[in-house]
């Protein structure tokens, strides 16, 4: 019996040493130390032994069990360690590897032009005012000296929502709102950028939705020369120091006198080409001295206060500045177009 136990011990230890995984090890544990295992089997034969031999065999059997258990534990610890090391090795991260480049979004060319224009006027002491795109007939027309039935309303074909509300056709209602907020007291110096809507058929130069930037200055002794000087600074900063401006008489119901501003054509340098239609000049905005009626409707004393306003289309400015030939490029989000305006902003 002693020999049998020793042999079982050796056999078990050999198998333990050879085991390659934790599951295999557990199988060995069950096979050798379990209730149905060979060691238990051998001990069943103890009854046949003499009284002196029995305790000796019992002790030996315990020794064998202890030895096998110890080896099992050692081996299982070793296998576990190996498994952890293997896992760590396979999951090693090389922190020195350069990362994948992150594709950054960038500003739309129209946003950039609007911000450029805003910055330019902020630099001249203006602040920014905004207003709703769904506007009342009052602010969009009536407060701007365009009573119901006025023929000039036809200049701005409108999207009406109800009889009294519409999608604003220009940013001038923000001018009326700002004046109302100031309760008859100057000075005011704001620009109002925003989206506007007109019932136009979309083509290379028209869009049913586009942007405008309105400028409004009100104070005591504001003169036409202030308007001209302001527009001159704007044109030169925006298009280059070599640009000249000219003001042509025009008509807007909310300004008197009204003008349109042209800048010299960059393409031909003023000699005349197809872009400027042979005139050497390109029209870029409308402006004028605030009509006394508009001042009075918004609560300003037109004897004390005067002012000027101007309105421009940033799309048109961008088209002239970058040589873009179709306004629809701004709204169709074609990356081939947008990628031409890559900068790190
Ligand atoms: N609101 C005018 C338009 O949309 C432009 C403009 C603004 C003209 C301010 C003069 C003064 O046509």
Q: Which two tokens stand for residue 42?
A: 């051998």
The reply to whether 32 and 124 lie within a common domain is: no
List the CATH number of the domain containing 171: 3.30.930.10
The reply to whether 70 and 124 lie within a common domain is: no
For residue 267, count CB atoms less than 10 angstroms from its CB and return exposed for 0-12, middle for 13-18, buried for 19 or more: middle
The reply to whether 303 and 182 lie within a common domain is: yes
Residue 20 annotated as lining a ligand binding site:
no
The reply to whether 243 and 304 lie within a common domain is: yes
Q: What's the CA-to-centroid distance between 161 and ligand 1, angstroms?
A: 22
- Best mutation site among 143, 168, 172, 179 for ligand 1 pocket (most ligand atoms within 8 Å of CB): 172
Q: For residue 215, is pLDDT > 80?
A: yes
Quickly state the pLDDT bin for 266 (edges 50, 70, 90): confident
Q: What's the CA-to-centroid distance between 341 and ligand 1, angstroms?
A: 29
Q: What is the pLDDT of residues 163-199, one digit of tens each?
A: 999 999 999 999 999 999 999 998 999 999 999 999 9
Quickly state the pLDDT bin for 14 (edges 50, 70, 90): confident
Q: Which atom in ligand 1 lies closest to the alpha carbon of residue 216?
A: 9
Dist CA 139 CA 130 (whole Å): 13
Whether this prediction's pTM lies above 0.85 is answered by no
Residue 102 lies in a domain: no
Output the pLDDT for position 343.
67
Residue 21 lies in a domain: yes
Q: What is the pLDDT of residues 85-120, one digit of tens each?
A: 888 888 888 888 888 888 878 889 999 999 999 999
The reply to whether 131 and 273 lie within a common domain is: yes
The reply to whether 81 and 114 lie within a common domain is: no
Q: What's the CA-to-centroid distance between 263 and ligand 1, angstroms?
A: 17
Which of 61, 90, 119 delimits the end of a domain?
A: 90
The reply to whether 77 and 162 lie within a common domain is: no
Residue 52 lies in a domain: yes
Output the pLDDT for position 345.
54
Which of 57, 90, 123 delimits the end of a domain?
A: 90
Dist CA 51 CA 48 (whole Å): 9
Residue 132: which residues within 8 A CB-CB, separation 6 or more? 168
Q: How many CB atoms lie within 10 A of CB 201?
A: 7
Q: For residue 236, is pLDDT > 60?
A: yes
The reply to whether 143 and 86 lie within a common domain is: no
Q: What's the CA-to-centroid distance between 280 and ligand 1, angstroms?
A: 23
Q: Which atom in ligand 1 lies closest to the alpha carbon of residue 172?
A: 1
- Region 57-79 average pLDDT: 84
Output the pLDDT for position 19.
83
Output the pLDDT for position 66.
84
The reply to whether 65 and 180 lie within a common domain is: no
Least confident of 60-64, 197-201, 294-298, 335-339: 60-64
Annotate 79-107 with b (16+ C-beta within 10 A) or e (fewer): beeeeeeeeeeeeeeeeeeeeeeeeeeee
Q: Which atom in ligand 1 lies closest to the alpha carbon of residue 215?
A: 9
CB-defined site of ligand 1, < 6 Å: 170, 172, 214, 252, 255, 286-288, 309-311
The reply to whether 209 and 298 lie within a common domain is: yes
Residue 96 lies in a domain: no
For residue 68, count CB atoms less than 10 angstroms from its CB and return exposed for 0-12, middle for 13-18, buried for 19 or more: buried
310 touches 193 (CB < 8 A): no
Annotate 3-14 with b (16+ C-beta within 10 A) or e (fewer): eebeebbeebbe
300 touches 215 (CB < 8 A): no
- Best mutation site among 254, 256, 258 for ligand 1 pocket (most ligand atoms within 8 Å of CB): 254
Q: What is the pLDDT of residues 272-310, one digit of tens each?
A: 888 788 899 989 999 999 999 999 999 999 999 999 999
- Region 328-344 average pLDDT: 86
Residue 244 lies in a domain: yes
Q: What's the CA-to-centroid distance between 301 and ligand 1, angstroms?
A: 22
Residue 190 lies in a domain: yes
The reply to whether 209 and 131 lie within a common domain is: yes
Quickly state the pLDDT bin for 123 (edges 50, 70, 90): very high
Residue 276 lies in a domain: yes
Average pLDDT in the chain: 90
> How many domains, the chain?
2
- Region 248-261 average pLDDT: 96
Residue 97 lies in a domain: no
- Region 20-46 average pLDDT: 81
Domain holding 33, by residue range, is 2-90
Q: What's the CA-to-centroid distance between 84 and ligand 1, angstroms?
A: 74
Q: Which protein residue has the closest C-alpha to ligand 1 atom 4?
A: 170
First to last CA, the chain: 88
Output the pLDDT for position 67.
83
Q: For residue 331, is pLDDT > 80?
A: yes
Q: For residue 342, is pLDDT > 80?
A: no
Which of 90, 119, 136 delimits the end of a domain?
A: 90
Positive or negative torsion for Cα 57, 59, 65, 68: negative
The reply to whether 129 and 68 lie within a common domain is: no
């Amino acid at each position: 019996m002693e020999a049998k136990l020793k042999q079982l011990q050796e056999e078990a230890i050999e198998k333990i040493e050879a085991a390659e995984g934790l599951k295999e090890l557990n199988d060995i544990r069950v096979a050798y130390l379990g209730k149905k295992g060979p060691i238990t089997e051998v001990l069943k034969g103890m009854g046949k032994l003499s009284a002196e031999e029995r305790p000796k065999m019992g002790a030996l059997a315990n020794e064998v069990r202890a030895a096998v258990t110890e080896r099992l534990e050692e081996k299982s610890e070793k296998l576990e360690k190996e498994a952890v090391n293997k896992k760590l090795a396979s999951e090693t991260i090389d922190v020195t590897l350069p990362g994948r480049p992150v594709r950054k979004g960038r500003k739309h060319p129209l946003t950039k032009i609007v911000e450029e224009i805003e910055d330019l006027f902020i630099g001249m002491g203006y602040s920014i005012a905004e207003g709703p795109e769904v506007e009342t007939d009052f602010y969009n027309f009536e407060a701007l000296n365009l009573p119901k039935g006025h023929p000039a309303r036809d200049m701005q074909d409108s999207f009406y929502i109800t009889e009294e509300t519409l999608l604003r056709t220009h940013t001038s209602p923000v001018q009326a709102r700002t004046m109302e907020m100031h309760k008859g007291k100057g000075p005011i110096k704001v620009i109002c950028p925003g989206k506007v809507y007109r019932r136009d058929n979309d083509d290379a130069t028209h869009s049913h939705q586009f942007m405008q930037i309105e400028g409004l200055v009100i104070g005591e002794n504001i003169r036409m020369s202030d308007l001209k000087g302001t527009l001159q600074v704007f044109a030169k900063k925006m298009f280059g120091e070599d640009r000249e401006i000219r003001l042509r008489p025009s008509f807007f119901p909310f300004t008197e006198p009204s003008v349109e501003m042209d800048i010299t054509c960059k393409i031909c340098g003023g000699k005349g080409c197809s872009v400027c239609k042979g005139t050497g000049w390109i029209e870029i905005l409308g402006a004028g001295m605030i009509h006394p009626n508009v001042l009075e409707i918004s609560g300003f004393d037109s004897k004390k206060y005067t002012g000027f306003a101007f309105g421009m289309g940033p799309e048109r400015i961008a088209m002239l500045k970058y040589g873009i030939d179709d306004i629809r490029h701004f709204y169709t989000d074609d990356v081939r177009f947008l990628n031409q305006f890559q900068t790190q902003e």
